[in-house]
Amino acid sequence: MTEKERWQRLDQDVRAHLEAQAATPPPPIWEVPLEQVRANDRQAYGAIPKVPVDATEDVTIPSGNGSIAARIYQPLREDVEAAGMNGSLGIVVLLHGGGFVLGDLETHDPAARRMAAGAGTIVVSVDYRLAPEHPFPAGVEDAVTATQWVMDHAADLRGDADRVIVSGDSAGGNLATVVARRWRDEDRPPLAGQSLIYPVTDMRPTSDWPSRRELASGFGLTRAVMNWFGEQYFTDEAHLAHPDASPIVVEDLKGLAPAFVLTAEFDPLRDEANAYAERMRDAGVDVEHHEIPSTIHGALTNPAGFASGDVMWRRLNDWTRLALTR
């Protein structure tokens, strides 16, 4: 497919968004003070209308590295009833995207609300430590600690420890895959599922996925930005091939929690995420996988509000409801 053909295949709203970016391109992320980039993200996501929930509560989760901030979302009773939930509710541990460098409780507040309302579930959004202040494996450690805390305190949250899903988009999807594998390998109580939204599964510099080459620029997330994220997250090149950094290197994927995987046709991470979904399926894992056509990385949460993002939300929330009511 030529560049022109790719461009013509994009959804109209996605193409208009990319055209607007190309007309007034922002400076490269590495040329802007990091705190300003993070503040700009919070401002952009803060403009998204807030879906109502019953209540939110900010908490701190004890950790061997101090504490982890988190926010608990309780769904409205009508959303619980619409989801067909009975008794104690399911819980989703939400690990935000942002290249292991960006994102926090505020940028993903709209996403957490939409998940709580759409799936009738409790959501615990985790503010894991970010690079470069806290390089690999800090984010992994916080994701594991927070998920275990949620299971240990499920009853206090009005939830069910037997119905916990770990979910993440992009970098958060990477962390969710690691949590799911750790739960299997460390013989922890089983997860009800893992939902992976265009996850990063391969950080190795020697990898050569076609989508990373063909979609290296012009479609939102770029190869240059991905490389910059990697430079912030990893202090040792050897870490890039670690299973907690590049889940695609794990040889045995048998016995993982049921998985939901969403990918986007014009995402540079498409091929590695599709390959991870296929490898899980080949290993006997229950996998529901959708590649959403004509859209880009980040469509689920993009403040522009793409129609393809609505499709993603419907499929994600439908799977979440089913996984938590089995």
CA 12 to chain CA mean position, Å: 25
Instruction: Return phi, psi of residue 133, to 5°.
Output: -60, -35
Task: Give kind and range of the element (H or E) at residue 183.
Answer: helix 171-185
The string of pLDDT tens digits covering residues 70-101 is: 999 999 999 999 888 878 899 999 999 999 99
Give the domain extent around 49.
3-325
CATH of the domain at 26: 3.40.50.1820
Return the closest-CA partner of residue 159 out of 223, 72, 234, 95: 72
Residue 3 has pLDDT above 90, yes or no: no
The string of pLDDT tens digits covering residues 227-263 is: 999 999 999 999 999 999 999 999 999 999 999 999 9
Return the closest-CA partner of residue 309 out of 319, 320, 297: 297
The string of pLDDT tens digits covering residues 204-227 is: 988 999 999 999 999 999 999 999
Residue 2 has pLDDT above 90, yes or no: no
Instruction: Return phi, psi of residue 147, to 5°.
Output: -65, -40
- Rounded Cα distance between 113 and 53, Å, is 6
Count: domains in the chain: 1
Q: What SS3 class is residue 197?
A: strand
Q: Residue 206 carries which side chain, given as an amino acid letter?
A: T
- Rounded Cα distance between 100 and 245, Å, is 11
Centre a 10 Å sphere on the Cβ of residue 176 and count the other Cβ atoms it contains.
Answer: 30
Task: Please tell me the predicted confidence (pLDDT) of residue 244.
Answer: 98
Sorted by sequence, the CB contacts under 8 Å of residue 93 that are 6+ apart come out as 124, 126, 143, 146, 147, 150, 164, 165, 166, 167, 179
Average pLDDT of span 177-206: 96
The string of pLDDT tens digits covering residues 118-176 is: 999 999 999 999 999 999 999 999 999 999 999 999 999 999 999 999 999 999 999 99
Q: Which are the catalytic amino acids? A: 170, 267, 297
- Rounded Cα distance between 122 and 136, Å, is 28
DSSP string, 101-153: TS--TTTTHHHHHHHHHHHT-EEEEEE---TTTS-TTHHHHHHHHHHHHHHHT
Angle at 12 between CA 10 and CA 13, to 5 degrees: 110
